[in-house]
Structure 1
Amino acid sequence: MLDVDPTTLALEFGGSAVIGGVLGFATKQVAKLVAIIIGTQLMAFRYLESQEILIVDWNRLSAGLVETQERADEIHWLESMLSMLSVGAGFTSGFLIGFHRG
């Protein structure tokens, strides 16, 4: 027989939801900042290339993105999420709420 304490499960779920919410909010803010930095950098590259100051190999630059996507497809995250269901569900829901509100 399983000895499951509902209070412990609720505390794990609630605590991980709060932590997930804070991290989701922070992640969205950081993602906005990174997007601005990368966009500015790409605009600078494009400008310097148009002035013939710099030569950018755009095919080689985008090849790294394709390789990263291929590696991400190999990770089996579902198995690890099922092993920590109460913490994972709380964290995920809090993260999504925080990310949405951020």
Structure 2
Amino acid sequence: MALSIDPGQLGLHFGSGAVIGGVVGFAAKKVAKLIALLIGIELALFAFLESRGILLVKWDRLTAGLVSAGRDAASSTPPSWMMSILSTLSISAGFTGGFLLGFRKG
């Protein structure tokens, strides 16, 4: 049983994955920056309103929820659909490279 690999098709998969990954990485970084900015403004507003006596913020409860959510996300196993996506190496390798390049340039 001979394994026939078409270099043209492999290059097409790798290239298209890299382009799509670059676009997604660029957009993801822009969205992440916007979300970080909005959260920072919201926390600064909470601190300002608390200093003026208008609002009472329970900071320990706020951070405890974030820490437990991060712990839950780190301990979960990847879903089966993610494993099947990663098994297509030519597309995922191109996508990963393009995503990192787009994220870095974004």
| TM bracket, shorter-chain basis | 0.7 to 0.9
Letter in 2 for 1:56: V
Is 1:96 paired with 2:100? yes
Report Cα offsets for 1:36-60 as digits up to 9, x if no partner.
1111000000000111111111111
Letter in 2 for 1:92: T
Distance 1:7 1:29 in 2: 33
Query: Normalised by the size of structure 1, how large is the TM-score?
Result: 0.87
Task: State the 4+ residue runs in structure 1 displaced beyond 6 angstroms.
Answer: none
Percent of aligned pairs with the same residue? 54
Counterpart for residue 75 of structure 1: 77
Q: Which structure 1 residue ranges, 5 or more long, are not aligned? A: none
Q: Which structure 2 residue ranges, 5 or more long, are not aligned? A: none
Give the 3 Å change call, closer, same or farther, for CA 82–55 of structure 1 in structure 2: same
- Superposition RMSD in Å: 1.9
The count of corresponding residues between Structure 1 and Structure 2 is 102
Is 1:87 paired with 2:88? no
